[in-house]
A and B are shown apart, each in its own frame.
Chain A
Amino acid sequence: MEIKKGIAVSPGISIGKCFVIDAEDYRIPRRLIEPSQRLTETQRVRNAFKDGIEELTRLQAEQEEIGGQKIKDIFAVHLSYLRDRTLRKKITDMVNTEMVTAEFAVSSTLRDIASHFTKVKDVYISERAADIYDIEHRLLGHLVGSKRQDIAALKEEAIIVARELSPTQTASFNKEYVKGIATGAGGRTSHTAIVARSLGIPAVVALEDITESVTAGDTVIIDGNRGIVIVNPDDSTIEQYLEYAVEYTELEHRLDTIREKPAETRDGVRVMLMGNIEFPDEAQGVLQKGGEGIGLYRTEFLYLNRNTEPTEQEHYEAYSQTVAVFKSRPVVLRTVDLGADKYTQSRRYIREPNPFLGLRSIRFCLQNLTMFKTQLHAIMRASVLGDLRIMFPLITNLQELMQAKMVLGDVMEDLDEEGVPHNRNIKVGIMVETPSAALTASMLARDVTFFSIGTNDLTQYTLAVDRGNELVSTLYSSVDPAVLRLIRTVIQDAHKAQVDVSVCGEMASEPESVMLLLGLGVRTLSIAAPMIPEIKQIIRSVTMEECNKVARKVLGMNSERQISSFLRDAARKILPEAF
Chain B
Amino acid sequence: MQNTVCELEVEIKNVDGLHMRPAMQFVDIASKFQALITVSKAETSVDGKSIMQMSMLAATYGTRLKIKAEGVDAAEAVEALRELVEVKKFGEPTPEEKSKQMF
Contact = CB atoms under 8 A, between A and B. Distances in A.
A369 interface: no
B19 A80 contact: no
A124 B17 contact: yes
Nearest to A122: B60
A117 interface: yes
A571 B48 CA distance: 73
Contacts of A116: 56, 58
Contacts of A81: 51-52
Nearest to A135: B52
A77 B50 contact: no
B24 A125 contact: no
A130 to B, nearest CB: 10
Contact of A87 (B17, B28, B52, B58): B52
B56 to A, nearest CB: 6
The residue in B27, B47, B52, B56 that gathers the most chain A C-beta atoms within 10 A of its C-beta is B52
A484 B84 CA distance: 73
Nearest to A76: B24
Interface residues of A, number: 20
Given A77-B24, A125-B58, A113 B52 contact: yes
Given A80-B51, A81-B51, A87-B52, A73 B58 contact: no
Given A86-B53, A87-B50, A80 B24 contact: yes
A215 B102 CA distance: 56
A84 interface: yes
Contact of A86 (B24, B47, B58): B47
A128 interface: yes
B102 to A, nearest CB: 16
Between B17, B21, B47, B50, the greatest number of chain A beta carbons within 10 A of the residue's beta carbon is seen for B50
B21 A124 contact: no
Contacts of B52: 81, 84, 86-87, 90, 113
A84 B53 CA distance: 9
A410 interface: no
A247 interface: no
Nearest to B63: A122
A513 to B, nearest CB: 57
Interface in A119-144: 120-122, 124-125, 128, 131
Interface in B10-66: 16-21, 23-24, 27-28, 47, 50-53, 55-56, 58, 60
- What secondary structure prevails in chain B residues at the interface with A? helix
B20 A84 contact: no
Contacts, number: 52
A77 B58 contact: no
Of B20, B28, B47, B51, chain A has the most CB atoms within 10 Å of the CB of B20
A117 B55 CA distance: 9
Contacts of B27: 80, 84
B19 A125 contact: yes
Nearest to B50: A86
A111 B44 CA distance: 21
Contacts of B51: 77, 80-81, 84, 87
B24 A128 contact: no
A121 B58 CA distance: 9
Contact of B17 (A73, A86, A90, A122): A122
Contacts of B55: 117, 128
A537 to B, nearest CB: 64
Contacts of A90: 52
B58 A117 contact: yes
A81 B28 CA distance: 11
Contacts of A77: 20-21, 23-24, 51
Contact of A125 (B17, B50, B53): B17
A128 B47 CA distance: 20
A128 B58 CA distance: 10
A90 B51 CA distance: 13
Given A77-B51, A86-B50, A86-B53, A122 B20 contact: no
19 contacts: A73-B21, A76-B21, A77-B21, A80-B27, A84-B27, A84-B50, A86-B47, A87-B50, A87-B51, A113-B56, A116-B58, A117-B55, A120-B58, A122-B58, A124-B17, A125-B18, A125-B19, A125-B60, A128-B19
Given A84-B27, A84-B50, A86-B53, 10 more contacts: A76-B21, A80-B24, A80-B51, A86-B52, A113-B52, A113-B56, A122-B60, A124-B16, A124-B17, A125-B18
Interface of A: 73, 76-77, 80-81, 84-87, 90, 113, 116-117, 120-122, 124-125, 128, 131
Closest 9 CB pairs of A and B: A86-B50, A120-B58, A87-B52, A77-B20, A80-B51, A122-B60, A80-B24, A124-B16, A84-B52
